[in-house]
Amino acid sequence: MTDNNRFNAWACAGKGKTLAKTNELTLKQWDEDSVELNITHCGICGSDIHTMDSGWGPTLYPCVVGHEIVGVVAKVGKNVSHLKVGDRAGVGAQCGSCHQCQNCKEGNENLCMNNFVGTYSSKWPNGDKTYGGYADRWRGDYRFAFKIPDNMSSEIAATFFCAGVTTYAPLKRENVNSTSVVGIMGIGGLGHFGVQWAKAMGAKVIGMSHNDKKHDVALELGCDEYLVTSDKEAMAKYRRSMTHILCTGTGQDFDWNTYLGLLHANGHFINVSMPDWNFPELHPVVFVMNQVHISGSAIGSPKEIEEMLEFAATHGVKPWIEIYDMDNVVQAVEDFRAGKPRFRIVLKN
């Protein structure tokens, strides 16, 4: 007799282990708040690599990573009204919250204080482990599964659920508009989204990188200008020129004084990068005398994800993707580690 809770997946058994196919893992216990998807696509995210490597702390092995999931709804619980069998839906880096804490009640479920449930290497309240999208099925809380707009393909939609909302939410939250001048630090998997969001919001956009290798790509993405951050003369010309900086990645030579000096008074430095090393100390004088806002942002709330999907569908924001068959996931991960994709990899079942 077939166990209907088992699924096929590519799992990581431990740090340094290569992904291996298995059908021995089980989905969460079904309840009436559940949605089940037959996975068609899943993006590869840097978080997947960090988790497989235990880069941010201990991983719950065996782990099935992947939190840019898109699939076709196969089953819905009685409490589900926004999705029906046959719909296309997506799931991001979060698949559950307590719904009771102050943050959840205020619409910041992504900052749940009691029970943030990650889409992988986490546990549901009943103790079941969470598993991600390098697989053929996913089951979870309907409040973190979102209908895909009809005019958006599934492979394009997949990367919106982590990289997309991670960059959209803080720019929207900090009111980027036609009067804004936005610097995007890092033209990569996150940064290429940041450029497109800021342009669609009406801003002037300045691509920023350590060298000129991304110059042409940045302009093709929509940047109005390009700034080589290792060029001291060029950096000096941009002093006090930006209203916002979105940091999607930087090197260990990062210096607060250099970058905060690029911002207008009351400007915003927004960090969405999560390296496995610490930023340098910030001297109070640098912080105070630049009179700027420094903030971080964690993915986005369900409401922000819904708004993002509508915004992307309306404004034609599209990631640059390369598609690999799910069965070729080992090679896809190797290529991702080597920095080959421009700019996201999407796995397809």
One-letter amino acid at 49 equals I
What number does CATH give the domain 164-296?
3.40.50.720
pLDDT digits (tens, 9 = 90+) for 181-202: 999 999 999 999 999 999 999 9
Is 145 in contact with 36 (CB distance < 8 Å)? no
Task: Using alpha carbons, select from 282, 285, 241 the residue that is nearest to residue 261.
Answer: 241
What number does CATH give the domain 6-162+300-348?
3.90.180.10
- Which residue is associated with the tokens 């969001």? 197
Q: Supply the mean pLDDT for the chain.
A: 95
pLDDT digits (tens, 9 = 90+) for 137-196: 999 999 999 999 999 999 999 999 999 999 999 999 999 999 999 999 999 999 999 999
Amino acid 288: pLDDT: 86
Question: 3-class SS at 26?
Answer: strand
Q: 57: pLDDT confidence band, cut at 50, 70 and 90?
A: confident
Phi, psi of 104 (to 5 degrees): -60, -45
pLDDT (mean) for 50-71: 95
- Which residue is associated with the tokens 């719909």? 87
Amino acid 172: pLDDT: 97
CA distances from 78 to 38, 124, 306, 329 (A): 19, 19, 22, 35
pLDDT (mean) for 327-346: 95
d(CA 194, CA 22) in angstroms, rounded, equals: 36
d(CA 330, CA 270) in angstroms, rounded, equals: 33
Q: What is the DSSP letter of 223?
A: -
pLDDT digits (tens, 9 = 90+) for 40-56: 999 999 999 999 999 88
pLDDT digits (tens, 9 = 90+) for 93-115: 999 999 999 999 999 999 999 99
- Which residue is associated with the tokens 């479920």? 109
d(CA 163, CA 288) in angstroms, rounded, equals: 31
Regarding predicted confidence, which is higher, 132 or 257?
132
d(CA 12, CA 24) in angstroms, rounded, equals: 13
Domain ranges of the chain: 6-162+300-348, 164-296
Amino acid 293: pLDDT: 95
pLDDT (mean) for 222-243: 96
Q: 1: pLDDT confidence band, cut at 50, 70 and 90?
A: very low
Amino acid 289: pLDDT: 87
Task: Using alpha carbons, select from 94, 96, 91 the residue that is nearest to residue 42.
Answer: 91
